């Protein structure tokens, strides 16, 4: 997929559960790790100290196809999927070689933190989105 | 909600992140905890030793409304939402007093483990679903 | 044990690993949960918003005796073990009924956060320790 | 350190807590990840499917020196520290560049699982230890 960023990861022991496979909640952390690696590839950080804009989540989804096991190496493929005035949706595919593991989305909204810590919705900065898209294309 | 089971939980320190709120991935664990408490309320266990049927996840979703903070007490309200021949979907609402935290779903499929550990899809046992529904109504 | 506070907990699915038992790292979170419950029992919070004093960890230990399994109910028994001018050590015993699970310690130092966020060691407030000890005795 | 294996890691967002630093419990998972990477470097797996010997933990310790922050890159340096007839202790040093993060130990005992799943202590296989030591020297 040409508009996507690829993040490689290995399954750690603590991520498995008594069913002998990766616990389903870890897919959401794998997606987030890949998204944050994309921000770094774009020369950015999702959470730079003192940043003017923060990115609270508004939605997260995952559809499971095949399980992951201890020490599996797999890829998380991430791209900028949909951008609105107030939100960015990232889309993800997880695969281990030719085996599909599943696919999901994370949607974040852009907000600024005012003096007393309360979040206020702000417009998504276009330049940031352009840098993320450019980094995804690689 | 009269067809729902209510699970009370307190936010633990390790569940927060540097944004000062509960990390978004924990909502999926909170939902699972509530679902498993519903199984127990029905006199069942989602994972009894030697059980004939296991319940791998096929889908998970969550929509975020308001953040949770350290030591917050909140409720996870769970009900049996939709049952097909091969799957059960649980629906969840999280709330802290009158404040909505968000809502989500977990969908599991029924499978049996044969001799060599491979999972094979089987029909959802109707009696189990009836017991879960009865326990949710309370 | 008369100088101790007892915190009851149930093992959740996500806390198990592929060996079919609770992952060893969870004992540290169980200990922390019990310690924080003791703070609450003393009418305090280990991390109140805007608190003058914070409690970074300096040491953590655990010795394992018997494993915990999914849905086990167990107790974490915590007491204030040793207090120096700069640190408080909490001691913990975990047990499931008559079965010892293990024992451990968490040692925290008292610090204040100055304007630029840097931590500076400060004397342990005696009154806080007295309240924790009193709450542990119950 | 010439008898040690070095494992590089980056701090992920979900590993931080509301204090803005990595939660103390993660040091135990970082140590385990490095230990398991050492097993792989030795051509082994700590948990191969159907393995005759398993390695339950008997003790874990960590002393904290400096905090880790989001996106920090750091090293976990691991070596085989002490071997007895029944146990292996791994020793760890964590550092971010020249900054010491802390040091710790994980001690595992060797056991075999009999037909009904009960663990029985067995002698540590000398050849395994030799391979781990050789891999650590690199």
Of C13, C21, C23, the CB nearest to A14: C23
Report the pLDDT value the prediction gives residue D135, as an integer from 0 to 100: 95
User: Using the beta-carbon criterion (under 8 Å), do C59 and D56 form an inter-chain contact?
Assistant: no
Of B14, B40, B47, the CB nearest to C32: B14
Tell whether A25 is within 8 A of chain C (Cβ).
yes
**Shortest Cα distance from D114 to chain C (angstroms)?**
14
**Rounded CA gap, A31 and A42, in Å?**
17
Residue in chain A nearest D20 by alpha carbon: A49
**Rounded CA gap, B39 and B128, in Å?**
9
Collect all residues of chain A within an 8 Å Cβ-Cβ radius of residue D70. Answer: 45, 47
SS3 A54: strand
Q: How confident is chain B (138 residues) per 10-residue block, as mean pLDDT?
A: 87 96 98 98 92 92 97 97 96 98 97 80 94 92
Closest CA to B123 of B109, B102, B113, B103: B109
Residue in chain C nearest D25 by alpha carbon: C28
Residue in chain D nearest C107 by alpha carbon: D63
**Shortest Cα distance from B2 to chain D (angstroms)?**
35
Question: Model-level pTM?
Answer: 0.97
Collect all residues of chain B within an 8 Å Cβ-Cβ radius of residue D20. Answer: 18
Closest CA to C67 of C33, C9, C16, C31: C16
**Shortest Cα distance from B39 to chain A (angstroms)?**
17
| Residue A125 per-residue DSSP state | P
A8 HSE (CA, 13 A, CB side):
4
DSSP string, chain B: -TT-EEEEEE--GGGB-TTSSB-TTHHHHHHHHHHHHHHHHTT--TT-TT-SEE--EEEEEEEE-S---TT-EEEEEEEEEEE-SSEEEEEEEEEETTEEEEEEEEEEE-EEE-TTS-EEE-PPPHHHHHHHHHHHH-
C6 contacts C135 by C-beta, under 8 angstroms: no
Closest CA to D76 of D134, D23, D10: D10
Tell me the per-residue pLDDT of D21-39, one tens digit each, with 9 for 90 and over: 999 999 999 999 999 999 9
**Rounded CA gap, D101 and D77, in Å?**
11
What sign for the dihedral angle of Cα C66, C71, C73, C76? positive
Residue in chain D nearest B21 by alpha carbon: D18
**Rounded CA gap, D32 and D105, in Å?**
10
Q: Give the mean pLDDT of chain A.
A: 94
Tell whether C32 is within 8 A of chain D (Cβ).
yes
Tell whether A29 is within 8 A of chain B (Cβ).
yes
What long-range pairs does C110-114 form, CB within 8 A, spacing at least 24?
C110/C53, C110/C54, C110/C55, C110/C86, C111/C53, C111/C54, C111/C55, C111/C56, C112/C52, C112/C53, C112/C54, C113/C54
Of D32, D33, D70, the CB nearest to A47: D70
Of A13, A18, A21, the CB nearest to C70: A18
**Rounded CA gap, D64 and D61, in Å?**
10
Tell whether B89 is within 8 A of chain D (Cβ).
no
Other CB atoms within 10 Å distance of the CB of residue B54? 17
Which one of D31, D58, D60, D104 would you mutate to disrupt binding with C, by most C Cβ within 10 Å of its Cβ?
D60
Mean pLDDT of C47-62: 91
Tell whether A118 is within 8 A of chain C (Cβ).
no
Q: Which helix (H) or strand (E) holds A133?
A: helix A126-137
Report the pLDDT value the prediction gives residue C52, as an integer from 0 to 100: 83
B–C CB contacts, 8 A cutoff, strictly below: 32
Tell whether B45 is within 8 A of chain C (Cβ).
yes
SS3 A93: strand
Percent of chain A whose pLDDT exceeds 90:
85
Of C29, C45, C71, the CB nearest to B71: C45
User: Using the beta-carbon criterion (under 8 Å), do D58 and C63 form an inter-chain contact?
Assistant: yes
C83 contacts C129 by C-beta, under 8 angstroms: yes
D134 contacts D40 by C-beta, under 8 angstroms: no
Q: Which helix (H) or strand (E) holds C102?
A: strand C99-109
Q: How confident is the model at residue C2 (pLDDT cuts 50, 70, 90)?
A: low
User: Using the beta-carbon criterion (under 8 Å), do D47 and A14 form an inter-chain contact?
Assistant: no
Tell whether B29 is within 8 A of chain C (Cβ).
yes
The tens place of each residue's pLDDT in chain D, 138 residues long, gives 567 999 999 999 999 999 999 999 999 999 999 999 999 999 999 998 878 889 999 999 999 999 999 999 999 999 999 999 999 999 999 999 999 999 999 999 999 987 777 789 999 999 999 999 999 987
DSSP string, chain D: -TT-EEEEEE--GGGB-TTSSB-TTHHHHHHHHHHHHHHHHTT--TT-TT-SEE--EEEEEEEE-S---TT-EEEEEEEEEEE-SSEEEEEEEEEETTEEEEEEEEEEE-EEE-TTS-EEE-PPPHHHHHHHHHHHH-
Helices D126-137 and D26-41, packing angle to 10 deg: 100
**Shortest Cα distance from D70 to chain B (angstroms)?**
8
Tell whether D32 is within 8 A of chain C (Cβ).
yes
**Rounded CA gap, A98 and D122, in Å?**
40
C29 contacts B14 by C-beta, under 8 angstroms: yes
Tell me the per-residue pLDDT of A96-121, one tens digit each, with 9 for 90 and over: 999 999 999 999 999 998 767 778 99
Return the HEC string of A4-21: CEEEEEECCHHHECCCCC
Tell whether D71 is within 8 A of chain B (Cβ).
no
**Rounded CA gap, D110 and D122, in Å?**
6
User: Using the beta-carbon criterion (under 8 Å), do D29 and A12 form an inter-chain contact?
Assistant: yes
Alpha helices in chain C (DSSP H): 26-41, 126-137
Report the pLDDT value the prediction gives residue A2, as an integer from 0 to 100: 64
Lowest model confidence (mean pLDDT) among A25-34, C43-52, D63-72, D125-134:
C43-52
Tell whether C71 is within 8 A of chain B (Cβ).
yes
Q: How confident is the model at residue C41 (pLDDT cuts 50, 70, 90)?
A: very high
Query: Is the model's pLDDT at A3 over the cut of 90?
Result: no
Mean pLDDT of C6-24: 97
Residue in chain B nearest A21 by alpha carbon: B56
Helices C126-137 and C26-41, packing angle to 10 deg: 100
Collect all residues of chain D within an 8 Å Cβ-Cβ radius of residue C67. Answer: 56
Residues 6+ apart with CB under 8 A from B63: A58, A59, B102, B103, B104
Collect all residues of chain A within an 8 Å Cβ-Cβ radius of residue C14. Answer: 17, 23, 25
User: Using the beta-carbon criterion (under 8 Å), do A70 and C23 form an inter-chain contact?
Assistant: no
Report the pLDDT value the prediction gives residue A18, as an integer from 0 to 100: 94
Tell whether C71 is within 8 A of chain A (Cβ).
no
User: Using the beta-carbon criterion (under 8 Å), do D56 and C63 form an inter-chain contact?
Assistant: no
D3 contacts D133 by C-beta, under 8 angstroms: yes
**Rounded CA gap, D134 and B100, in Å?**
56
């Amino acid at each position: 997929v040409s508009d996507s960023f690829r993040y490689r990861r290995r399954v750690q022991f603590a991520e498995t559960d008594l069913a002998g496979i990766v616990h389903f909640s870890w897919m959401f952390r794998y997606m987030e790790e890949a998204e944050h690696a994309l921000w770094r590839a774009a020369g950015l950080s999702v959470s730079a100290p003192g940043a003017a804009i923060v990115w609270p989540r508004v939605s997260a989804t995952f559809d499971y196809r095949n399980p992951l096991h201890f020490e599996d190496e797999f890829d998380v493929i991430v791209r900028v999927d949909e951008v609105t005035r107030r939100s960015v949706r990232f889309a993800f595919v997880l695969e281990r070689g030719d085996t599909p593991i599943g696919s999901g989305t994370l949607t974040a909204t852009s907000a600024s933190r005012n003096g007393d810590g309360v979040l206020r919705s702000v417009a998504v900065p276009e330049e940031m989105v352009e840098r993320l898209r450019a980094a995804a294309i690689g």
